[in-house]
Structure 1
Amino acid sequence: MTILCGDCREILKKLDDTSVDLVYIDPPFFTQKTPSLTTQDHTTEYSFEDRWDSLDDYLSFMREVLCQCKRVLKTTGSIFLHCDKSASHHLRILLDQVFGAENFQSEIIWTYRRWSRCSTL
C-alpha cells in the first residue's frame, strides 16, 4: 500500500489511468477561514488558507480534482471524500455528476462529543 500526500492536483497528474483502488481525499472545506493547529508543545503551528473568491471557484477546483480521481480509479475502486457542512450538499451533487448517482454507496457521519469521557471528581 502506498499513501501519497501533497497537492492532489499535482499528484493525480502523475498517476496512470485506472491504477488506484482507493482514494481518500481531505480537501479544503470552503470554510472561508484560515484553519490552524498548534503542536501540543506549542513549538509549531500549521495553517492553510481555505478562502475562495466564490462558491463557483471552489466547485470548479473540486470538479477538476474529482475528475482526475475518477480517471485514476479502477472500475472496482472506491472514493472517500472528507468534508464538513460548509459545502457538503454541493459536493454530494458534484460527486453524483462526476461518478454517477447510481454509484453512491453510503456516507459516514462523524459525531463529536462535546465533553470528555473522563469525569472530574
Structure 2
Amino acid sequence: MDSPRLSNRMDPTAVSGRIKSARIALGLSQGVLASRLGVHRATIAHWERDGGFVPSVENLRALSQELQVGFEWLAVGGVISGQAVSPTIPDSRRRLESRMLMLSRHVPVSFLATVIALLESASAYLE
C-alpha cells in the first residue's frame, strides 16, 4: 500500500528516479514489476512520477529485492552515515570488479596490499 508523502528524510522525487532507473536497468516494464510485487501498474507509475507518493517501507523492501538494489540506496540515495551507497545490480558489480582489477595492475604492490587488507576487514565486518 502507498503511504503519504514522507517527511524531509526522503525526497519523493529522488526515490521515484531511483525506482525507475533500477527498473529500466533490469529491463522490466512497469507491468511486470507490478505483477511481481502484487500491485497495480498504476501504482508503479505513481511511485516513479515526480511528486508522487513514496512506497511504504514494506514496498521499498520488496522493490529493493525485485530490483536487485540495496534498500538503503533505494530509500535514501547516495550516502548513508558518511558512506557511499550504490545500487547492487549484478552487472554494476561485474563492471566495478573488472575496473578494480584493471586499475590494480598500475599501482605499487604495497598499495595493492593495503587495498586487499581493507577489503578483508570490510568482509569480516559484514559477516
Fold agreement, TM-score > 0.5? no
Higher-helix-fraction structure: 2
TM tier, shorter chain?
Answer: under 0.3
- The alignment's TM-score, normalised by the length of structure 1, stands at 0.28
- The alignment's TM-score, normalised by the length of structure 2, stands at 0.27
